[in-house]
Amino acid sequence: MRLARVSGTVVSTFNSPIFDGQRMLLCDYLNPDGELAGGYVIAVDVVSAAPGETVLILDEGTGARQIMDVSSGPIRAMVVAIIDQVAVEPS
Q: How far is CA 31 from CA 35, 43, 65, 83, in A?
A: 5, 18, 26, 13
- Count other Cβ atoms within 10 Å, centred on residue 29: 16
- The residue among 42, 41, 40, 50 whose CA lies nearest residue 10 is 42
Per-residue pLDDT band for 74 (boundaries 50, 70, 90) equals confident
- Contact between 77 and 65 (Cβ < 8 Å): no
- The residue among 79, 81, 74, 82 whose CA lies nearest residue 12 is 74
Tens-digit pLDDT profile for residues 10-67: 998 888 887 788 899 999 999 988 899 999 999 999 999 999 999 999 988 777 777 7
For the entire predicted model, the pTM comes to: 0.85
For residue 4, the model assigns a pLDDT of 98
- Count other Cβ atoms within 10 Å, centred on residue 81: 15
For residue 83, the model assigns a pLDDT of 96
For residue 13, the model assigns a pLDDT of 85
CATH 2.60.40.10 fits 2-82, yes or no: no
